Amino acid sequence: MIVCICKRVSDREIRRLVDEGATSLADIRKETELGTQCGKCACEARRIVRELNDH
Ligand code: FES
């Protein structure tokens, strides 16, 4: 599933980055530019990062 349409970042990509040590939306943004265009994906992306970090 694509989370960030503008930058074409999928939930799978986010999961991979969390597995590699990303702990925040800022970390994901640094690697993928997620959320740097329209910003609509930020809430959902943050939720996914939190959820993955809780597990
Ligand atoms: Fe992520 Fe637009 S959907 S910046």
Instruction: Read off the pLDDT of residues 6-48 as tens digits, 9 standing for 90 and up.
Output: 999 999 999 999 999 999 999 999 999 999 999 999 999 999 9
Give the tokens for residue 5.
């349409």
pLDDT confidence bin for 55, thresholds 50/70/90: confident
Domains in the chain, CATH or no CATH each: 2-54 (1.10.10.1100)
Ligand 1 centroid vs 22 CA: distance in angstroms? Answer: 19
- Residue with CA closest to ligand 1 atom 3: 4
pLDDT of residue 17: 98
C-alpha dihedral (47, 49, 50, 53), degrees to nearest 10 = 160
Atom of ligand 1 nearest to the CA of 39: 4
The atom of ligand 1 lying closest to the CA of 36 is 4
Region of 11 (left: φ > 0; alpha: ψ -120 to 50; beta: rest) is: alpha
